């Protein structure tokens, strides 16, 4: 293939960002950016399209697994299991440690396979009720939930972990396990920062609190069964050498969970809901794949490596930096992980960095800027606690600090100390 110049790759990213900021659907924004970047970078129309299609083909296995994961997500959300898990954690920890409880509840929901924005939206009604009683600020409760969500995201069977595992040809459980310690450090940082925002910003009004009375929810044991079965099936590979692909394990966990909750008759309804949630992600990732195809065949990699070499910084920093930059460009953990993993995986391995270290550091790096205003996460999370855009913007430095903590700990573990 004819490589595209670094200028073409930068143009592709810039055009994609501008279009996404102009409210163009992210998939289209990235496809148009990829097309323009290829042409600006010196490839002809045929070569550009070939690179774009090649990039999209490279992530089709991840897209299939993400669509299959919709069954688990649908069961958790629609059955009330996610709400049960969140409420149980908050009740066990009590309102005196409300911010820690909210962060932990969101972490666990995200870690068991609920999308991070959906996890925040699920915990938000509980958070609003507690904040009203305990006189906590919206900023404090939202940062606690977002920080917990980011922490859970790096240890979960979510689309970002699936994409990283696929790009580096690793078991999904390895990528999930690599995020546990960095995620826990992120949780601590989120709690510490949230406590400092306790009395800053607007408070919860009485009419913003939602009542749960009369809602029949499943018991905790039944609610946790779906993710537990999925994770146990995935764990068979590293423990006893039996390979159960996420394509099978994630939906099967959802089906068993529905059965345990006595809601198997509603499985199709849950699956339809889960597919509706996963479809936009899958479509976005195909657009992301076209962008990755252009960047992977461009001189941008060489420019970044030359910059690192000239600065005297170690080569392993390419992993978290690329993850962070791509999450900044796409305002998405998943899209950032997909682009960085598909573009830099082979380069990182050539530089002597192990597959697991590369995947873990890219994945952690992608949590640094995934909350930017040109992404849906920013608006969905702000809306969950009825927060205005101005106040929501003020949280960005705190969210970035949580992401940086996760990325720094991951880099220390897998880059500095070489634990993988």
Q: How confident is the model at residue 210 (pLDDT cuts 50, 70, 90)?
A: low
The whole-number average pLDDT for the span 240-266 is: 90
Q: What is the model's pTM?
A: 0.84
Residue 201 has pLDDT above 70, yes or no: yes
Residue 329 has pLDDT above 80, yes or no: yes
Residue 213 has pLDDT above 60, yes or no: no
Helices within 154-266 (DSSP H only): 159-167, 172-178, 180-196, 220-240, 246-260
- C-alpha span between 123 and 106 (Å, rounded): 7
| Confidence at residue 212, expressed as pLDDT on a 0 to 100 scale | 54
Which two structure tokens, joined as six digits, stand for 232?
């146990």
Decide if 56 contacts 338 (C-beta within 8 A). Answer: no
Strand partners, 298: 4
Q: Where do the structural domains in the chain lie, given as residue ranges?
A: 6-416
């Amino acid at each position: 293939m004819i490589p595209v110049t670094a200028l073409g790759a930068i143009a592709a990213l810039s055009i994609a960002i501008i279009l996404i900021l102009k409210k163009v659907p992210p998939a289209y924004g990235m496809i148009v950016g990829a097309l323009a970047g290829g042409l600006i970078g010196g490839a002809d129309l045929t070569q550009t399209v070939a690179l774009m299609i090649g990039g999209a083909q490279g992530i089709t296995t991840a897209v299939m697994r993400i669509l299959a994961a919709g069954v688990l997500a649908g069961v958790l959300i629609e059955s009330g299991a996610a709400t049960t898990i969140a409420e149980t954690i908050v009740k066990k920890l009590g309102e005196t440690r409300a911010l820690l409880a909210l962060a932990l509840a969101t972490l666990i929901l995200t870690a068991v396979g609920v999308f991070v924005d959906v996890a925040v939206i699920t915990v938000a009604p509980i958070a609003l009720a507690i904040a009203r009683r305990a006189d906590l600020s919206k900023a404090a409760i939202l940062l606690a939930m977002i920080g917990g969500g980011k922490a859970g995201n790096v240890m979960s069977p979510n689309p970002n972990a699936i994409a990283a595992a696929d790009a580096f040809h690793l078991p999904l459980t390895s990528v999930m396990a690599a995020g546990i310690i960095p995620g826990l450090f992120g949780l601590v940082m989120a709690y510490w920062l949230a406590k400092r925002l306790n009395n800053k910003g607007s408070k919860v009004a009485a009419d913003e609190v939602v009542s749960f009375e009369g809602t029949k929810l499943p018991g905790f044991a039944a609610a946790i069964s779906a993710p537990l079965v999925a994770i146990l099936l995935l764990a068979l590979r590293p423990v006893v050498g039996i390979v159960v692909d996420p394509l099978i394990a994630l939906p099967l966990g959802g089906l068993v969970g529905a059965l345990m909750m006595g809601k198997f008759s509603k499985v199709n309804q849950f699956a339809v809901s889960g597919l509706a949630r996963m479809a936009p992600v899958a479509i976005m990732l195909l657009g992301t794949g076209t962008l990755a195809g252009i960047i992977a065949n461009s001189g941008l990699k060489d420019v970044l490596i030359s910059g690192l070499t000239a600065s005297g910084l170690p080569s392993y920093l390419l992993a978290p930096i690329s993850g962070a930059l791509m999450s900044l460009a796409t305002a998405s953990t998943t899209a950032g992980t997909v682009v960085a993993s598909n573009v830099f995986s082979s380069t990182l391995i050539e530089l002597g960095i192990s597959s697991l270290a590369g995947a873990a550091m890219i994945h952690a790096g992608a949590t640094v800027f995934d909350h930017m205003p040109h992404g849906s996460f920013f608006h969905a999370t702000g809306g969950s606690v009825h927060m205005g855009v101005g106040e929501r913007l003020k949280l960005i430095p705190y969210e970035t600090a949580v992401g940086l903590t996760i990325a720094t700990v991951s880099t220390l573990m897998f880059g500095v100390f070489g634990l993988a």
